[in-house]
Amino acid sequence: MHLEAIHVYKQFQTRQGSLMALKDINMHIETGEFVGAVGTSGSGKSTLLRLIAGLETPTTGKIKVDGAEVIGPGADRGVVFQNYTLYPWMTAMDNVGFGLKLQGIKPKERRVRVKEYLEVVGLSQFTNAYPKELSGGMKQRVAIARALACHPKVLLMDEPFGALDIQTKASMQEFILELWQRLGITIFMITHDVEEAVFLSQRVYVMTPRPGQIQRELSINLPLNRDHSIKRHSTFQDYKDIIVDLLSGRNVATSNSD
Amino acid sequence: MKLTIKPLHQSSGTPVQGLKPTVFWRIGEDIPPSFSSLLIVLSVVVPFLAWWVLSTSGLVHPKFLPSPPQVINALVRLWQSGVLLQDITASCFRVGTGFFLAAVVAAPLGIAMGTFASIRSLTEPIFGIVRYMPAPAFVPLLIIYLGLEEPPKIALIFIGTVFFNILMIMDAVKFVPKELIEATYTLGGRRWQVLLQVITPYVIPNIIDAFRINMAASWNLVVVAELVAATEGLGKRIELAQRFFRTDEIFACLIILGLIGFAIDLSFRVLLQVSCRWAVD
Ligand SMILES: Nc1ncnc2c1ncn2[C@@H]1O[C@H](COP(=O)(O)OP(=O)(O)O)[C@@H](O)[C@H]1O
Ligand SMILES: [Mg+2]
Report pLDDT digits (tens) over A169-208. Answer: 999 999 999 999 999 999 999 999 999 999 999 999 999 9
C-alpha distances in angstroms, B50 versus B42, B53, B62, B250, B251? 12, 5, 15, 19, 15
A7-35 pLDDT tens trace: 999 999 999 999 999 999 999 999 999 99
| pLDDT confidence of residue B8 | 63
Q: In 3-state terms, what secondary structure has residue B261?
A: helix
C-alpha distances in angstroms, A178 versus A34, A120, A144, A181, A251? 12, 11, 13, 5, 33
| pLDDT confidence of residue A258 | 42
Average pLDDT estimate for A63-90: 94
Higher pLDDT, A29 or B58: A29
| pLDDT confidence of residue A253 | 46
Q: Which residues are near ligand 2, the ion (C-beta closer than 5 Å)?
A: A 46
Residue B188 near residue A150, CB atoms below 8 Å:
yes
Higher pLDDT, B35 or A226: B35
| Cβ distance of B278 and A53 shorter than 8 Å | no
Looking at the domain assignment, is residue A230 inside a domain?
A: no
Q: Which one of A12, A18, A194 would you pick to mutate in the ligand 1 pocket, going by the greatest count of ligand atoms within 8 A of its CB?
A: A12
Per-residue pLDDT for A58 more than 60? yes
Per-residue pLDDT for B1 more than 80? no
Looking at the domain assignment, is residue A182 inside a domain?
A: no
Q: In 3-state terms, what secondary structure has residue A77?
A: strand
Per-residue pLDDT for A65 more than 70? yes
Q: For residue A161, which amino acid is it?
A: F
Tally of domains in chain A: 1
Looking at the domain assignment, is residue A27 inside a domain?
A: no
Looking at the domain assignment, is residue A13 inside a domain?
A: no
Give the distance between the most distant pair of CA atoms in chain B: 98
| pLDDT confidence of residue A159 | 94
| pLDDT confidence of residue B21 | 86
Residue A95 near residue A101, CB atoms below 8 Å:
no
How large a percentage of chain A has pLDDT more than 70?
Answer: 97
Higher pLDDT, B13 or A70: A70
B103-154 pLDDT tens trace: 999 999 999 999 999 999 999 999 989 989 999 999 999 999 998 899 999 9
- Concatenating the DSSP letter of every residue in B122-138 gives HHHHHHHHHHTS-GGGG
Minimal Cα–Cα distance from B207 to chain A, Å?
15
CB within 6 Å of ligand 1 — which residues? A 12, 14, 19, 21, 39, 41-47, 210
Per-residue pLDDT for A256 more than 50? no
Q: What is the ipTM of this complex?
A: 0.92
Looking at the domain assignment, is residue A189 inside a domain?
A: no
How large a percentage of chain B has pLDDT more than 70?
Answer: 95
Residue B81 near residue B240, CB atoms below 8 Å:
no
Per-residue pLDDT for A42 more than 80? yes
Interatomic CA distance for residues A31 and A3, integer angstroms: 9
Residue A242 near residue A52, CB atoms below 8 Å:
no
B164-193 residues touching A, CB cutoff 8 A: 177, 179-180, 182-190, 193
Taking the model in full, what pTM does it have? 0.89
Looking at the domain assignment, is residue A103 inside a domain?
A: yes
> What is the CA B148 to chain-centroid distance, rounded?
28
Looking at the domain assignment, is residue A133 inside a domain?
A: yes
Identify the band that residue B14 occupies on the pLDDT scale cut at 50, 70 and 90.
Answer: low
> What is the CA B230 to chain-centroid distance, rounded?
25
Lowest mean pLDDT among A248-257, B86-95, B123-132: A248-257
- Domain containing A108: what range? 86-151
Mutate to test the interface with B, among A83, A94, A96, A98 (most CBs of B within 10 A): A98
Q: List the single residue in B with minimal CA-CA distance to A98.
A: B187
B202-226 pLDDT tens trace: 999 999 999 999 999 999 999 999 9
Average pLDDT estimate for A75-97: 94
Smallest CA separation from ligand 1 atom 16, residue: A44
Residue B71 near residue B251, CB atoms below 8 Å:
yes
Average pLDDT estimate for A86-108: 96
Identify the band that residue B6 occupies on the pLDDT scale cut at 50, 70 and 90.
Answer: low
| Structural domains present in chain B | 68-275 (1.10.3720.10)
Per-residue pLDDT for B227 more than 90? no
Cis-peptide, bond into residue A211, ω within 30° of zero: yes
DSSP letter, residue A133: G
| Cβ distance of B190 and A102 shorter than 8 Å | yes
Looking at the domain assignment, is residue A122 inside a domain?
A: yes
Minimal Cα–Cα distance from B183 to chain A, Å?
7
| Cβ distance of A73 and B185 shorter than 8 Å | yes
